[in-house]
Amino acid sequence: MSVAGVAILGYGVVGAGTARLLTAGRAGMADRTGVSPELLHIVDIRTFPQDPLEPLVTADYDAVLADPRVRVVVETIGGTGAAFAFSKRALASGRHVVTSNKELVAEHGPELLELAASHGVRYLFEASVGGGIPIIHPMRHCLAANVIHTVSGILNGTTNYILTHMDQDDMSFAAALSEAQAHGFAEQRPEADIEGLDAGRKLAILSSLAFGVAVPWREIHTEGIAAIDAAGIDTAAQAGAQVKLFARASRMADGRIAASVQPVALSCTHPVCCASGVNNAIAVEGDAIGTAMFYGPGAGALPTASAVVSDVLECLGGEDSLPRLVWPPMPAGRMVPFEAQPVLVLGMRTAKPEKDLGAVLAAAGYGGRPLGDGKEVLVFGEDGTLTEGILAGAAAACGGLPSGWIRFVRGS
């Protein structure tokens, strides 16, 4: 049986969960996998006098790298400062690195993957997207026979919790956010979540895996949910849909990539609409498999730690026959500009003739068909010619996108 040392950087929620799984579950993992990871060090500048693992805690990272028993370094610090520097040093020393840090992977993933490949080790990040949902390994290995056309889904549990309660409990955005914070589902400074940045970084990671190039997260158009109100929720409900913060990246026929994160009215027949509360759902569409679905808890100490430990075991499992992962730079012009991407939009029927967005779009030839008998909702852009740029121009002429208007994604 292979026994290998592990060091954890950062003893917060995910780091502590990982330590718990590595220590409590070591015997079972050894029986199931033939690998026995031994937790040797926990690096943190804080002390934990009441913690049974306190003897393993050190602030001296140099001592960790000097220990020849350490084969895997688990980075759960977060951010792109110390986490980046420590990860580079570990890889350069010939250690595998496992992380849950989506911000670091989205920002510096290509460089760290290249560094890992050049030193014959692995840089793995299963826990960076979807919490405990297995998605990185299935996309990289299980779906390797597929050309992936689209990856989409609900990638942020905080916003999904907020939108679920706005819909089901008639709560305002502010009230739902406050409840999410009270239950620990939202940070006290929740901007990265509610502005869509967290989902954008995760979509960049999935897009890079799907399309084989480093997709810069800053080039993905990202919107948040703060502008969603009761009128938007009602419009979606009348259309048989729910408002979700929806992330989607697609490979176009010409090879370009279209990607965005936006609040949309997602048809209840869409495969990822089933995700409620803090759960995530991800759909991967490939040429051979069709649509594969991944669903489960998108956050939490133990679900995320489960994904971290799965990467630790992969590093130690002798899978040297698997190809090393690298993301070459994305060629210039590969990303479809957001304003050129087609859009479907729903609007409430209104009696204002002059500055009415529906009248402007209908007059320009972009539809305005009632979505169903007796419904007060109109759908625009069904022929695929209405783009985000055209919609933005028309909305600007009418003083902005009116309350009750929302983008629409049909079921598939």
pLDDT one-digit tens code per residue, 345-380: 999 776 554 468 998 998 899 988 888 766 689 999
Chain-wide mean pLDDT for the chain? 93
State the DSSP code for 218. Answer: G
Active-site residue list: 202
pLDDT, residue 25, reads 76
CA distance 393 to 107: 32
Q: Mean pLDDT throughout 107-135?
A: 96
Percentage with pLDDT > 70 across the chain: 95
pLDDT, residue 367, reads 81
pLDDT, residue 355, reads 66
Q: At what angle do helices 157-168 and 230-238 cross, to 10 degrees?
A: 80
- Please give the single-letter amino acid code of residue 318: G
Residues 271, 240, 265, 367, Cα dihedral to 10°: 120
Q: Exposure pattern of 25-35 as b/e (b: 16+ CB <10 Å)?
A: ebeebeeebeb
Cα–Cα distance list, 68 to 4, 88, 112, 302 (Å)? 10, 17, 22, 28
β pairing state of 96-99 and 123-124? parallel
CA distance 178 to 336: 37
Is residue 155 over pLDDT 90?
yes
pLDDT, residue 353, reads 47
- Whether this prediction's pTM lies above 0.75 is answered by yes
Express each pLDDT in 186-203 by its tens digit: 888 999 999 999 999 999
CA dihedral over 179, 182, 185, 189, signed as positive or negative: positive
Burial of 288 (0-12, 13-18, 19+ CB in 10 A): exposed
- Average the pLDDT over each of 19-33, 300-314, 388-402 and give the range with the smallest value: 19-33
pLDDT, residue 145, reads 95
Helices (H), 119-256: 136-137, 157-168, 173-182, 191-194, 197-211, 230-238
Q: What pairs with residue 251 in β-bridges?
A: 257
Express each pLDDT in 229-281 by its tens digit: 999 999 999 999 999 999 999 999 999 999 999 999 999 999 999 999 999 99
Q: Are 241 and 412 in contact (CB under 8 A)?
A: no
Taken in order of first residue, the domains within the chain and their CATH numbers are: 2-131+303-316 (3.40.50.720), 145-295 (3.30.360.10), 338-409 (no CATH)
pLDDT, residue 195, reads 98
Return the closest-CA partner of residue 166 out of 242, 274, 222.
242
